[in-house]
Structure 1
Amino acid sequence: MALRRLSTLLALTFALGAVAGAVGARTAPRMWADQLVNVTTDDLRWAKTRVRVNVDHWDPGAQTGLHRHPGPTVIYVLDGEVEEVFPDGKTVRLRAGQGVWNPARTSHNVRNVTSEPARVLAVHLDPG
């Protein structure tokens, strides 16, 4: 039952992100730290999880640096292209309309290696 609720929540989150992305278009700033727009944060007490939804704006060449999140994360590209690079050298290229699920504590670096800006919807399910 909890898995069904979580699946429904993720579907609703993607819909919210698509709407927020379409409505909230803006010029991508130069610094990655300034590129995060927190769409919503909510506690799911029944699942002991905190949901964080961001729309990340990426200039060409912008990247996060190697990092990880305490809970699973979904990355969905709204516009443009990004690459997700893992410590073992594996690289996943994501284009608009594509996404990836990362398990909790997955180390990764997300970067825009194109000459065009990109926008990414990031859904974080943090233990709480």
Structure 2
Amino acid sequence: MALRRLPALLALTFALGAAAGAVGAKTAPRMWADQLVDMTTGDLRWAKTRVRVNVDHWDPGAQTGLHRHPGPTVIYVLDGELEEVFPDGKTVRLRPGQGVWNPARTSHNVRNVTPEPARVLAVHLDPG
């Protein structure tokens, strides 16, 4: 039974590690083993989580519109600059090498307000 879960655990560990390493220790949350595994049963808490990794391209002026994702998301800027705007008016400017972790169901709008294209690495942990 535990061996069937191993590929999912390895994929999740790799995705979280890559995203956290890319974003940097100052902005990425620390994930401990007890957050991922129920220590009383050994079951994976996120066993049915689907990991999606995309490279998104943003033309100047492009934006998502206000939306949210069912699971946590990491956005890491590869090229260009983006702004992430939250319903309370808070705006975060993201430049190359910077990223942000959004908890599940965080409403936000991502937009490219520069005259240059932007490219981001996005990691989504979608509940299964």
TM range (shorter): 0.5 to 0.7
1:48: Cα distance to partner?
1.8
Deviation at 1:87, TM superposition (A): 0.3
Q: Deviations over 1:61-82 (max 9, x none)?
A: 0000000000000000000100
Q: Could you state the TM-score of these two structures normalised by the residue count of structure 1?
A: 0.66
Partner of 2:118: 118
Q: Deviations over 1:97-117 (max 9, x none)?
A: 000000000000000000100
> Could you list the runs of 5+ residues in structure 1 that have no partner in the other structure?
none
* 1:82–1:112 Cα contact (<8 Å) kept: yes
Q: 2:41 — aligned with what?
A: 41
Q: What is the CA-CA distance between 1:26 and the residue it aligns to?
A: 31
| CA RMSD between the two structures | 11.9
Which structure is higher in strand share?
A: 1
Question: Does the aligned pair in 2 maintain the 1:30–1:59 contact within 8 Å?
Answer: no
Query: CA separation of 1:104/1:22 partners in 2, compared to 1, >3 Å: closer, same or farther?
Result: closer
In 2, Cα distance between equivalents of 1:82 and 1:40: 43
Query: For 1:38 and 1:60, how far apart are their aligned partners in 2?
Result: 45
Deviation at 1:13, TM superposition (A): 8.9
Runs of 4+ displaced beyond 3 Å: 1-46
Q: Please report how far the alpha carbon of residue 51 of structure 1 lies from its aligned counterpart in structure 2 after TM superposition.
A: 0.4
Question: Structure 2 length as normaliser, TM-score?
Answer: 0.66
- Runs of 5+ consecutive residues of structure 2 not aligned to the other structure: none
Q: 1:56·1:122 contact (CA, 8 Å) conserved in 2?
A: yes
Moved more, 6-15 or 111-120: 6-15
Cα distance change on mapping 1:9 and 1:92 into 2, 3 Å = farther
Cα gap change, 1:3 to 1:110, in 2 (>3 Å) = farther
- Larger radius of gyration, structure 1 or 2? 2
Report the CA distance shift for 1:17/1:79 in structure 2 as closer, same or farther (over 3 A): farther
* 2:23/2:98 contact within 8 Å kept: no
Give the % identical residues: 92
